[in-house]
Amino acid sequence: MVESSYSDQQFLEYVIKSIVDSPDDVKIERQVDEMGVLLTLRVNPKDMGQVVGRQGSTAKAIRSLLKIVGIKNNARVNLKIEEPEGGRRSRSPQGDSGESRDMGATSVGKVIDDLKRDL
């Protein structure tokens, strides 16, 4: 029974180590709480592209497979992929830069003006 409770972590480790170039750098932390199982994945920064995939397709597929493993073991399994420090881009709650926000505000303002003219 002990093995089945960790089969999600073993499965994830097998899949990730199979697709990355630096399998020794793969680290998986497993936490269980009232929400289910949270697997936190850390990989070599050079391997992030392989783990995430184009437009997140690989990460999405891995999450889908983990959900199936979780269902088999009567658990809700979630995957968190930690971005390495100094990653490709920093994420902030406000967006990437003030410039993009200004551009978005301008385009929204233009749409509002266009709608007012149509009325």
Which of the two residues, 43 and 7, has the higher pLDDT score?
43
**Residue 112 domain flag:** no
For the chain, the domain total comes to 1
**Residue 67 domain flag:** yes
**Residue 116 domain flag:** no
Say whether pLDDT at 112 is over 90: no
pLDDT in tens, 32-49: 988 899 999 999 999 999
pLDDT in tens, 51-80: 999 999 999 999 999 999 999 989 999 999
Full domain range(s) for residue 47:
2-88
- The CATH code of the domain that includes 77 is 3.30.300.20
Distance CA 5, CA 111 (A): 53
**Residue 25 domain flag:** yes
R_g of the chain computed on alpha carbons: 20
Give me the percent of the chain exceeding a pLDDT of 90. 58
Torsion sign across C-alpha atoms 47, 53, 54, 59? negative
**Residue 8 domain flag:** yes
**Residue 80 domain flag:** yes
**Residue 97 domain flag:** no
Side chain identity at 94, as an amino acid letter? Answer: Q
For range 90-104, the mean pLDDT: 49
